[in-house]
Structure 1
Amino acid sequence: MLNAESGSESEGSGSSPELECGFSGRLKQAIGARSVLSFAKECGISDSLVRKYLAGSHPGLDKAVVMARVAGVSLEWLATGEGSSDKGAQTPAKQGFAGGEIDLDLLESVAATTLQELETRRIHLEPAAQARLLRVLYRHFASRHEQPDHDTVSNIIDLAAYR
């Protein structure tokens, strides 16, 4: 973790016991009822490394980001204890666009309809542009509690200048 005073990376050496205890306590809270082994597996790191962090070592930024994401907490809270531990109370994979649950059936329907419309109209979009378009369309249909139809999808593609 970056040491706020020196700007250097530390793995627990030379940092105060109070900070180590704080981080390890927050990590334990973030892990919750999961086993260390299952949490480590979800993070893609070894359980022995997670145990080192629980014992007081500090992770590098890359590991902290992954652990915060998997635990569904904010990186700021995990790293510093400041801010809210709640990152919408959900991991990004489950977090909706407005903080609610994603309707996966609706998302699948929006994606299928949109991709079919793009193919029919022979419109090629880069992946990032496709993702933005799908996000706009999903928000539109989710806010209206409607299923996607080709006319509306086509109109939104035109309005968004994805042509």
Structure 2
Amino acid sequence: MRFRLVLISLILGCTCLFVLLYSNNVVRRETARRFHSEGADLFSIIHRHGKSGRGASQIRRLNPSLLNVLKRDPSFIVGVTTESHRVEKVRYQGNEIETSVIGVTAGYRTVFDLKMQQGRFISELDSTAGFCVVGNKLHKRWTQATADSLIGRSLQIGRQV
């Protein structure tokens, strides 16, 4: 009798372990499928043409052969950054617009060679407070009626001010 109980316990334990391991693989595959279906490749490389490295760019997925080249000669790496995309409602002085919001790090400016019209770009000093850079079209839309600057002003992105 005791032998049967031990055998049943072992079978149940192995079955539970198999179900846990299998469901973990299913979750991992589904997560990867969603990332790829939304176009969110986890790593990409931007290849700039021209001697200065500031010419036209081409974005490609980062694959193992490119990693080997970069490992041998890291001087090709100009900068590293992250970015995330989402669409949010943005409000400023009663005006609301649904627009694309890109979450970035300080290195984004270097990698994409961005020029600022006013103010400064995000830096490592901005890690404790909310800070944003407003694009040219949105800036023109919000300041066309006045000569005011948006620097230092509060705006609401989604539920965050």
Q: TM-score if structure 1 supplies the norm length?
A: 0.24
Query: Larger radius of gyration, structure 1 or 2?
Result: 2
User: Does 1 or 2 have the higher relative contact order (CA < 8 Å, sep 6+)?
Assistant: 1
Give 1 or 2: higher strand fraction: 2
Give 1 or 2: higher helix fraction: 1
Q: TM-score if structure 2 supplies the norm length?
A: 0.24
